[in-house]
Amino acid sequence: MLIWEALGSVLIGLAIALAATRWLPGRFASRTLTLATGPVAALFGALLTRSILGPGHPVEVLLAALAVGVALLSVLIRPPRSPHHRLRRPTAPLKGHRTA
């Protein structure tokens, strides 16, 4: 059963990595890094969950693989580069400090 959970988690990780690169193509620095991180993160999540819960919980293991894969892929997302998305307001000077 461990082999099927590991294989399933790798496939889930690959699916979420492919979906992420297709849905947000300009937000990832490297497509190769994204496609490698998804399966590895999902496999890590599955093995960690399996070691905590023990055998007999395949659905929970695969859900944890999905959650860890998504969480680690979200770390790779860069902020948008469009000036319309990020408006900076001038900051007010600190109270009691003089500005030159």
Tens-digit pLDDT profile for residues 73-96: 999 998 877 666 555 566 666 677
In this prediction, residue 18 has a pLDDT band, given cuts at 50, 70 and 90, of very high
**Domain range for residue 42?**
2-75
Report yes or no on 81 lying in a domain. Answer: no
Decide if 48 is inside a domain: yes
Beta-bridge mates of residue 28: 77
Query: Measured between alpha carbons, how far is 87 from 92 in angstroms, rounded to an integer?
Result: 15
10 lies in some domain: yes
88 belongs to a structural domain: no
Q: DSSP for 46-73? A: HHHHHHHH-SS-HHHHHHHHHHHHHHHH
Q: pTM for this one? A: 0.76
**Mean predicted confidence (pLDDT) in 6-10:** 96
pLDDT in tens, 39-69: 999 999 999 999 999 999 999 999 999 999 9
Looking at residue 95, its pLDDT comes to 72
